């Protein structure tokens, strides 16, 4: 990776409303221009929007939420889409699905997180689930952005990203 061209990272989940949105916003926030994050879902529901609790937790953490929207992974499989360097699934459903053939054959990794939007309980308990998920995502993304440039070279990024799934 050269220092002028950011590494394009796509986070995938099924509906693109919680975990992948949290990861996209967080990496764009901490990526220091070395990364450009996107997110998408394998099957977002009609009129799907980012989960309001996820947006609330991001804003409380000082992370911008402008422009975040739920979208299909089909947006990133076309000829006019930005070419991805790394694709990370953040839910077990998306990890097991047959993905599109991505232009440029990007590296892939799976970083599984429990779905905070499935937590039952009070509003505070649901909000805490989103906070915990954001914290877990942030911990891995901090490790990713602090990898030395040679670990982000095209031939090594696959292993580097997969190694972080153990962190």
| Catalytic residue of the set 1, 30, 81, 99 | 99
CA distance 147 to 140: 11
Q: Does residue 91 have an active-site annotation?
A: yes
CA distance 33 to 144: 13
State CA 66 to chain mean position distance: 16
| Catalytic residue of the set 7, 91, 95, 157 | 91
Torsions phi, psi for 9 (to 5 deg)? -125, 130
Find out whether 133 and 81 touch, Cβ atoms under 8 Å. Answer: no
Q: Render 24-38 in DSSP notation, one character per residue.
A: HHHHHHHSTTSEEEE
| Catalytic residue of the set 13, 22, 57, 136 | 13
Which residues are part of the catalytic machinery? 13, 91, 99
């Amino acid at each position: 990776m050269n220092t002028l061209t950011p590494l394009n990272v796509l986070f995938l989940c099924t509906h693109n409303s919680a975990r992948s949105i949290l990861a996209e916003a967080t990496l764009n926030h901490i990526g220091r221009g070395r990364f450009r994050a996107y997110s998408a879902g394998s099957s977002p529901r009609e009129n799907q929007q980012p989960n309001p609790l996820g947006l609330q937790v991001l804003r409380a953490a000082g992370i911008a939420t402008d422009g975040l929207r739920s979208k299909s992974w089909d947006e990133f499989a076309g000829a006019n889409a930005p070419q991805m360097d790394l694709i990370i699934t953040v839910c077990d459903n998306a990890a097991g699905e047959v993905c599109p053939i991505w232009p440029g054959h990007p590296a892939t990794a799976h970083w599984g997180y429990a779905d905070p939007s499935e937590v039952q309980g009070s509003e505070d308990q649901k909000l805490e689930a989103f906070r915990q998920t954001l914290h877990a995502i942030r911990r891995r993304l901090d490790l990713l952005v602090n990898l030395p440039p040679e670990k982000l070279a095209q031939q090594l990024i696959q292993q580097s990203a997969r190694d972080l799934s153990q962190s």
